[in-house]
Structure 1
Amino acid sequence: MQFVPRPAFDINASGAGDHGDLPEWNLTDLYESPDAPELKRDMDWLEEACASFAADYDGKLAGLDAAGMLDCVLRYEKIDMIAGRIMSFIGLRYYQITTDSERAKALSDAQDKITAYTTPLVFFSLEINRINDAALDALFAENADLARYKPIFDRMRTMRPYQLSDELEKFLHDQSTVGSAAWNRLFDETIAGLEFHIGDETRGLEATLNDLTDQNRDTRETAAREVARVFGENVKLFARVHNTLAKEKEIEDRWRGMPTPQTGRHLSNHVEPEVVQALRDAVVNAYPQLSHRYYELKRKWLGLERMEVWDRNAPLPMESERLVGWDEARETVLSAYGEFDPEMAKLAEPFFDKGWIDAAVKPGKAPGAFAHPTVADVHPYVMLNYLGKPRDVMTLAHELGHGVHQRLAAGQGELLSSTPLTLAETASVFGEMLTFRRLLKNAPTKAERKVMLAGKVEDMINTVVRQIAFYDFECKLHEARRSGELTPDDINALWMSVQGESLGPAFDFMDGYETFWAYIPHFVHSPFYVYAYAFGDGLVNALYAVYEEGGDDFQAKYFEMLKAGGSKHHKELLEPFGLDASDPSFWNKGLSMISGFIDELEAME
């Protein structure tokens, strides 16, 4: 179970403030409580089900007929469902208060148990990959219900060239709780426990980062320097986390024979390396037309000779400091969704009414935002840290897009509902775009339109330029780690090597900014995840261009795409829209939308 937040836009503070009555999660659709008898029942069932599955099928998969293979897959899916339900409940409780020792222990204990229970299942994918293609194809041809699961078999079989012995695969599975999972927890708990001193106030990271979007430049500088101070004091620990995880990955990749550190991510995303490279190259080549050009505009608006890093997300001088209450945020997003299609608003509405959103900032709560799908027979849960800023409204639109997508894809069942990361951002970014377009259309003045356009450009730069710079940093980090241990100064230098290139000549970089890689959770939880954001943004920009061209059937095609979940490749999903992500010009089409917004901003000067 992973809870991967959207790209960080440096938001959040503490307390509900004047934002209205912010909702909290009601997790009873998973389990009533941590000591619910149903939770113990399911954990006991899981132990027995895994053992009996292994007893019935280990060493026997190649001899199954089509009906027997279908029964095997259905039993495997039920195990996956129950394990997912348990870990969703315990994990969501933990993310509500990551500093609570009882919740942390519950998460660790559950991970240990489920890892131990499911270790006997490692044989499943290994044996499937030893069956020859003709034999599997014959089974699919014989049984249509089994053939529906072919995408699952296809995904497993992409790992065939990199598969280790059964014993080694079981070992890697078994030791994961004291490997990457343990280092992930250390990172999460360290980040949650950091203390920052602003004046007489002691805060957490999110509250301090929130000051980087304050109108007052001195406030922004104070926050940036305090973040740099605390990161500097802890940089050795963060360097240890990154060194260990990168080395662990290098060892496993080497044993598997994977040609690059990125290969595993590309395989799990079902995307070709050349497609990702085309995306990366298109964005890097567009830096001068995008981020460099925009930040030079912003430098002039702010009246600065040079910008500092604490000016990157500064509000514009003409921007209102008005906060958006929760009820207004809800109405804004649901109305935007409903204008696109009433069904989309209908799918989003229960999140507000049934305890599917946890919105308030609270001590110990995980930073950022995410939408977690739980399991196919329940529903997703959305986590926010809502402070009423316009970007918070966009975050709400983004995470609800994930939630709508996950609800629609759930019809595929537990194994087929999970969407590759490259497509997982489609509905979220599309939801943001719908909300933005509605707000832009209703902007009452030219000044407000300018502020909105600038805000959208900044969000798109954060989603595309910043994430590709992150991707380049990760590529450099993992490549450098192959040659030996990296000192904090080594990692700092890699970070700075991509920052100036991506942000452009308008910026100076304060002492201490070189440590700002330390808090990005994606580098720790999901190496090379970040390009999925740029992939999703480019894909949505191209999709939205098709939508604007008209056609009564766009909504129907769009919902069918979301309903497909992980059952189809990106090429097949985009074909009805006349789009192809393997065409290099596809990415330029997406980037041209950002460039067009900057053109409009320049024309307003």
Structure 2
Amino acid sequence: MRNRQDSIFMDSDRFTYESVAIQREMDQLIVEINKHSLSPVKMTDWLNQSSELRKRVSQLTSLIAVLRSTNDSQSYEIYGSACKQSFNHLLYLLQTKVAAAEESTFRDLLKHEGTRHYAYILQRWHDQRVLHQREQELIKDLSSDGLDAWGNFYQKVVARMKFCVNDQEFSYAQALSFRSSSDAHLRKRSFYALEEGWREQEDIIAQIYNRITGYSIKKNNQTGYSTRLEESLDQNRIKRETIEAMWQAVDSYIPLFRDYLNEKADLLGKERLPYYDFWAPLSTSKRNYTYSEGVSFVLRHFGRANSSLKTFAELAVKESWIDEQDREEKRSYAFCAGFPMTNESRISMTYKGTMSDVLVLAHELGHAFHNHQLSGVEGLNQMYPLTLAETSSTFAELSVLEGAMDEAHSEEEQLYLLDEKLKRSVMNFMNIRSRFLFEHSFEKERRAGVVSVERTNVLMKEAWERSYQGSVVDPPAQFWTGIPHFYLPHAPYYNYPYTFGYLFALSLMAKRREKGESFEDDYELLLRNSGCMSVEDIAHTYLHEDITEPGFWIKGLELCASDVRKFIALSTTQKEVYK
């Protein structure tokens, strides 16, 4: 980041000292847990210590994420990984204690004043299957040189890749950013440069993905999960029927979004839409925003959506928590890292001034606002699921986009902004759907053995065709190679949380329009409680909705369908402008 010598930075010596100190405290707590029988008083002490340790471990792992974004994390990785594994082992011991408790003892735990704030996590531990200690320790010991190692290897492979566009070499992040350029030739050249680069690395990346998936399958055979999806649903505290209801609703609306893609192709003077034109901005003005202009744009529309969100974002900008610079060594994707010990966040992105970049900035600030709302919450209750993480970020992003749409003065501007919003709908309903289907198909075949590169490409193509239904020409054959979420070792199916977050955020925005400023308190409470309730309970408490039924999801989809209809109506008057 720009300002390394700030409140979050540690040199390698200080980092080592802190990680060793945390490790020592965890070891002492583990001895204590093994030594004593379970009681409400003891459990209160153990949970409080674990909560504090969780914050300290998160502080270290977030710093690694920030340094990794600039390829400067190697000397930190080993100690950070060891701390994370030890903390997971600590949680396992606590879970073991709770799961083995007599019903009367467990009821006493739930009623005790000291453990009241941990009731949800205690109930989860009580209900979950517990591994034998020997199995748990074996999985922990093998992870650093197995699952985690493969994930780190993928990141190093991508970090070293170069893509040649217009006789100049670019990193993945830089080459990918050209996809939303107003220059059609640049979009096309960068697309094929990316294709060529991924094709050269597909053998290595196929090996990585085979190993991550294969390792996870074998691990789940021991932990009791029948599939990686079951593991993901448990991690994200969400019921299978909720996801099935969501996809059932989404699939029924895909033909409408196919109409949008076909209409955009027609606007651009093409029979069908080439993939490299999907992100093409529909604006003849070729408007770009300087970073300062982009920040002002975001802050203005945050102020209309949530005053606390605007105030927080102003702080993040003032304190230089955002690294927006375009540098070769930066990672390909934007991210936000939370630092719970100092109540701060850091955002990394490559900002080039497009509307898409402005919206990414808003998205990541939404993540940071979520982190901010958790200040003062127990560390164990800050472990919110990915579905709700993507809800906060998407709420912020859509607040900016819809605010801009409300202020649009011309039909051309309205069409441009509708296109920006609908691109996000397509990403969540078609692109993310293809990733979900691909991951499901790949795991199924991986159970029978290693999946070849050729077969992996076929599985990706089949998932793509089912999701896009022929509406996009020449989709990337090696699409699976460049999606970093597939290579996160401990986050299987990191795809549906985006679709969930998008539709859930739309429901929150509808609720905000209904209740006005009074909704701000409810929204902030939702974020604050996101780590200590199930997703279904969150929806019931703050939206009074049953999200296990398709009807809930159809409400959000109908809002998006209305955007498609507006887009098609407006495009009829604008076609001569674009062709």
TM-score normalized by the length of structure 2: 0.93
1:149 to 95, 115, 118: 118
Deviation at 1:119, TM superposition (A): 4.8
1:15: which partner in 2? none
Check the 8 A contact 2:180/2:356 in 1, yes or no: no
1:247 is matched with 214
Letter in 2 for 1:159: Q
Distance 2:126 2:200 in 1: 45
C-alpha separation between the residues in 1 aligned to 2:87 and 2:131? 21
Superposition pairs for residues 394-413 of structure 1, below 5 Å? 394-413=359-378
The answer as to whether partners of 2:166 and 2:189 remain within 8 angstroms in 1 is no
CA shift in 2, pair 1:543/1:220, >3 Å: same
8 Å contact kept, 1:265–1:528: yes
CA contact (8 A) 2:179 2:279 kept: yes
1:275 aligns with 2:242: yes
Where 2:339 maps in the other structure, the secondary structure is coil
The Cα offsets for residues 539-593 of structure 1, whole Å up to 9 and x where unpaired, read as 1112222222345522221122122131222233223333221121011111111
Residue 52 (structure 2) aligns with = 78
Between the aligned partners of 1:80 and 1:549, the Cα distance in structure 2 is: 38
Counterparts of 2:526 and 2:473, CA distance in 1? 44
Matched, 1:522 2:485: yes
Change beyond 3 A, Cα 1:32–1:219: closer
How far residue 122 of structure 1 moved from its aligned partner, in angstroms, is 4.0
- Partner Cα separation in structure 1 for residue 221 and residue 558 of structure 2: 39
The answer on whether the counterparts of 1:85 and 1:375 sit within 8 Å (CA) in structure 2 is yes
Number of the residue aligned with 1:17 = none
Q: Are the equivalent residues in 1 in contact too, given 2:274–2:472 (CA < 8 A)? A: yes
- C-alpha distance in 2 between matches for 1:120 and 1:216: 53
Q: Is the 8 A contact 2:512 2:519 kept in 1?
A: yes
How far is the alpha carbon of 1:372 from its aligned partner?
A: 1.6
Residue aligned with 2:108, SS: helix
State the match for 1:591 in structure 2. Answer: 557
The 5 Å alignment of 1:174-213 reads 174-213=141-180
- Report deviation, 1:202: 1.1
Alignment of 1:63-462 (within 5 A): 63-95=37-69, 97-98=70-71, 100=72, 103-112=73-82, 115=85, 119=89, 122-141=92-111, 143-160=112-129, 163-290=130-257, 292-316=258-282, 318-375=283-340, 377-462=342-427
Q: Please say if residues 480 and 486 of structure 1, whose CA atoms lie closer than 8 Å, have aligned partners that are also in contact.
A: yes
Structure 1 distance, partners of 2:546, 2:376, is: 26
Structure 2 stretches lacking a partner, 5+ long? 573-579
Secondary structure at the counterpart of residue 411 of structure 1: coil
The offset of 1:227, in angstroms, is 1.4
Is 2:338–2:345's contact at 8 Å kept on the other side of the alignment? yes
SS in 1 for 2:169: strand
Per-residue CA distance 1:504-542 (angstroms, 9 max, x = gap): 3333226xx211210101111122011000001111112
Matched to 1:371, the amino acid is: C
Match of 2:576 in 1: none
8 Å contact kept, 2:254–2:429:
no
**In the alignment, is the contact (CA less than 8 A) between 1:50 and 1:118 conserved in 2?**
no
Cα distance in 1 for partners of 2:97, 2:412 equals 63
Equivalent pair of 1:338/1:344 in contact (CA under 8 Å): yes
Shift of 1:154: 2.4
- In 1, Cα distance between the equivalents of 2:127 and 2:335? 28
SS of match in other structure, 1:582: coil
CA separation of 1:485 and 1:349: change in aligned 2, threshold 3 A: same
Q: CA 1:110–1:430 in structure 2 vs 1: closer, same or farther (change >3 Å)?
A: closer
1:322 alignment partner, SS class:
coil
Between the aligned partners of 1:430 and 1:508, the Cα distance in structure 2 is 31
1:541 has 2:541 as partner: no
| Aligned residue type for 1:56 | E
Q: Distance in 2 between matches of 1:232 and 1:427?
A: 35
Matched, 1:578 2:544: yes
CA contact (8 A) 2:131 2:223 kept: yes
Residues of 2 paired with 1:43 and 1:255: CA distance?
30
> Secondary structure of 2:493's partner?
coil
CA contact 2:302–2:310 (8 Å) conserved in 1:
yes
- Greater displacement, 525-534 / 553-562: 553-562
- Amino acid corresponding to residue 275 of structure 2 in structure 1: V
Contact 1:46 1:83 (C-alpha < 8 Å) held by counterparts? yes
Q: Which residue of 2 aligns with 1:504?
A: 469
Structure 1: distance between partners of 2:84 and 2:385: 24
- Superposed CA deviations along residues 126-181 of structure 1, whole A, max 9, x for unmatched, are 2322223432121221x222111112222334432xx3210110111122111111
- 1:117: how far off? 8.0
**1:236-271 deviation line (CA, Å, top 9, x unaligned):** 001001100111111111222322220111001110
The residue identity in structure 2 corresponding to 1:180 is: L
Corresponding position of 1:43: 19
Q: Which moved more, 1:486-495 or 1:549-558?
A: 549-558
* In 2: Cα distance, 1:113 partner to 1:418 partner: 17
For the aligned residues, what is the CA RMSD? 2.0
CA contact (8 A) 2:65 2:337 kept: no
Aligned-pair CA distance for 1:105? 3.2
Task: Provide the C-alpha distance between the structure 1 equivalents of 2:546 and 2:342, rounded to a whole number of angstroms.
Answer: 33
Contact 1:340–1:434 (Cα < 8 Å) also in 2: yes
Identity %: 22
SS of the residue corresponding to residue 518 of structure 1 reads: helix
- Deviates most, 254-263 or 485-494: 254-263
- 1:4-27 CA-partner distances (Å, limit 9, x unpaired): xxxxxxxxxxxxxxxxxxx83556
For 2:19, give the aligned amino acid.
M
- Paired residues, number: 568
C-alpha change, 1:27 and 1:69, in structure 2 (3 Å) is farther
Name the amino acid aligned to 2:487. V
Deviates more, 1:263-272 or 1:202-211: 202-211
Question: How far apart are the structure 1 equivalents of 2:427 and 2:410?
Answer: 26
Aligned-pair CA distance for 1:284: 2.0
Q: Secondary structure at the match of 1:373?
A: strand
1:113 Cα offset (Å): 5.9
- 8 A contact 1:29–1:378 mirrored in 2: no
1:467 to 432, 448, 457: 432
Cα deviation per residue 1:299-341 (whole Å; 9 max; x = unaligned)?
110101233221222222x443221111111111111111223
Distance 1:342 1:110, change over 3 A: closer
2:560 counterpart letter in structure 1:
I
> 1:118: Cα distance to partner?
6.7
The structure-2 alpha-carbon separation of the partners of 1:327 and 1:592, relative to structure 1 and needing over 3 Å to count, comes to same
Instruction: Pick closer, same or farther for the CA change 1:293–1:113 going to 2, 3 Å.
Output: same
Name structure 1 gaps, 5 residues minimum.
1-22
**Residue 468 of structure 1, CA deviation:** 1.8
Deviations along 1:51-70, whole A, 9 cap, x unmatched? 2112211153xx33211211
Change (3 A) 1:152 1:29: farther
